[in-house]
Amino acid sequence: MKKKIIVIGGGFAGLQFIKNLKPGMFEVVLIDRLNHHQFQPLFYQVATSQIEPTSISFPLRKIFQDRKDVTVRMAEVLAADPQNMTVTSTAGTFEYDYLVIASGGKTNYYGNNELEKHTLSLKTTYEAIKIRNEILENFENILNSGSNADEGLFNIVVVGGGPTGVELSGAFAEIKRDILPKDFPGIDFSRLKIHLLEGGDHTLNTMSDLAKRSSEKYLKSLGVQLRTGVFVRNYDGSILQLSNGEHLESKNVIWTAGITGNLINGLSQEVTAPGKRLRVDRTNRVEGYENIYAIGDIAYMETPKYPKGHPQVANVAINQGKNLARNFTRMFKGGKLTEYEYRDLGSMATVGRNKAIVDLPLVSFHGYLAWYFWMFLHLMLILSVRNKLIIFINWAWNYITKNSSLRLILKIDPDK
């Protein structure tokens, strides 16, 4: 009888693990609360009405429809029971021989319930759509309120100066300049401010000095109000309290300032590492367990090069998934397992039209070339040829016309 592997999570790590397993060698059950894989690097473009969510969402059943050894179950995992080798979910209880946890991460609010309650986050396709809805409704409310419009409606605040925050701020600044005045000619857009708040000294703090300088220069050229070295103390839905004593009115605050792991109940507290990640050895086996593995954002692996764990980026997740799949094949054949070693291929971020920064191992560059490089690489990472083509056409159209027709407010119940 084939050994059964349960994989929790269909993100980059879980997807690559299953795709790189030799077909037919194991019986695989993929459990995810969503029925699709999400291409997170382009969430900000969904949030700013540049591409449709279907362009970066890929049904898991379609991905694995030719794999008879893979079963997909849409469910929420409630707990793992290592002693009995079972996983309990909203779809029932599943037995396993091996458990692979690829549950990823979620937004980190650092214990502040008010921030979690009142701010918008950007970790799922749904949240990207929600941001799009909220921002577009914001301008409808300004128009309907006329001269009585709340000042907070004119301030869009992005918290966190990493790649997501930088890309989101730049995109908002561009649609403010090129698109929204055409849609809402009755609004004085000189009053609309895009604010980016970063607790560190610079934006893109984990990238090169060139990236830091260039991103800040690009953001300021687009009119983004950039504040560095400042933290958010609290937010009640109307007023942001900042660490420098300043108060900022806003009805639209997007939190991109941190990530924490999606822990699975049932495992020993001793394996929980900083950031609510799971401690793993160099083969991604969870410490203290013989048949439980963790890969991607949830995995905390200390190595000589990365003594505080690997960065929580797609490249790590993808390659940990691939390495673990190869190790399962070696394990099946009685071979020696290969330890994972992260090879940093570089980082990149785009701030807007013709404005991007690319850090490669041997060189960093910015501007037009970096922007084209960024687009090419992201297109190559998109799963299907059809979606690559759709996104390319959208990008080309937006580049030529400085416009798009995707500014739809989509709600389950329009009356709510």
DSSP string, 122-147: -SSHHHHHHHHHHHHHHHHHHHHHGG
Which of the residue ranges 234-248, 315-329, 389-403 would you say has the lowest mean pLDDT?
Answer: 389-403
pLDDT at 31: 98
Residues 303 and 326 in one domain: yes
For the chain, the domain total comes to 2
Residue 361 lies in a domain: no
Q: What share of the chain is helix, strand, coil (3-state, %, to 5)?
A: 35, 25, 40
Question: Buried (b) or exposed (e) across 180-208, using 16+ Cβ within 10 A?
Answer: bbeebeebeeeebbbbbbbbbebbbeebb
Do residue 220 and residue 296 come from a single domain?
no
28 phi, psi to nearest 5 deg: -115, 130
36 band by pLDDT with thresholds 50, 70 and 90: very high
Q: Are residues 247 and 269 in the same domain?
A: no
Q: How sure is the predictor about 413, in pLDDT bands with cuts at 50, 70 and 90?
A: low
pLDDT confidence of residue 383 = 84
The rounded distance, in Å, linking the Cα atoms of 165 and 131 is 13
Could you read off the pLDDT of 346-357 as tens digits, one per residue?
Answer: 999 999 999 999
Do 265 and 250 fall within a single domain?
A: no
Q: Which of 332, 350, 367 is the last residue of a domain?
A: 332
The answer, yes or no, to whether residue 8 has pLDDT greater than 70, is yes
Q: Is residue 348 part of a domain?
A: no
97 & 190 share domain:
no
**25 and 89 housed in the same domain:** yes
Contact between 120 and 134 (Cβ < 8 Å): yes
Query: What is residue 407's predicted lDDT score, i.e. its pLDDT?
Result: 75
For residue 223, give the CATH number of its domain.
Answer: 3.50.50.60
Residues 85 and 67 in one domain: yes
Which residue has better confidence, 223 or 405? 223
- Contact call for residues 171 and 402 (beta carbons, < 8 A): no
Q: End of a domain among 332, 360, 378? A: 332
Q: Is residue 161 situated within a structural domain?
A: yes
> 46-83: string of b/e by CB count within 10 Å (b at 16+)?
bbbbbbbbebbbbebeebbeebebbbbbbbebeebbbe
| Residue 215, both tokens | 């991103």
pLDDT of the residue at 1: 83
Among candidate residues 211, 241, 257, the one where a domain is terminated: 257
**Domain housing 32:** 4-107+259-332
Average pLDDT over residues 126-149: 91
Residue 277 lies in a domain: yes
pTM: 0.92
State pLDDT tens for residues 212-238.
Answer: 999 999 999 999 999 999 999 999 999
Do 94 and 78 lie in one domain? The reply is: yes
- 127 shares its domain with 166: yes
Kind and range of the H or E run holding 350: strand 347-352
210, 149: one domain: yes
SS3 251: coil
Residue 296: inside a domain: yes
Q: Please check whether residues 126 and 240 belong to one and the same domain.
A: yes
Q: Is 128 part of a structural domain of the chain?
A: yes
> How distant, in Å, are the alpha carbons of 185, 186, 325, 384 from that of 137?
15, 15, 45, 32
Same domain, 130 and 252: yes
Q: Say yes or no to pLDDT of 324 above 60.
A: yes
How is residue 402 written in tokens? Answer: 């400085």
**307 within some domain:** yes
Q: Check residue 323 and give its pLDDT.
A: 97
Position 416 pLDDT exceeds 80: no
Least confident of 142-146, 211-215, 331-335, 406-410: 406-410
Band (pLDDT 50/70/90 cuts) for residue 406 is low
Residue 345 lies in a domain: no
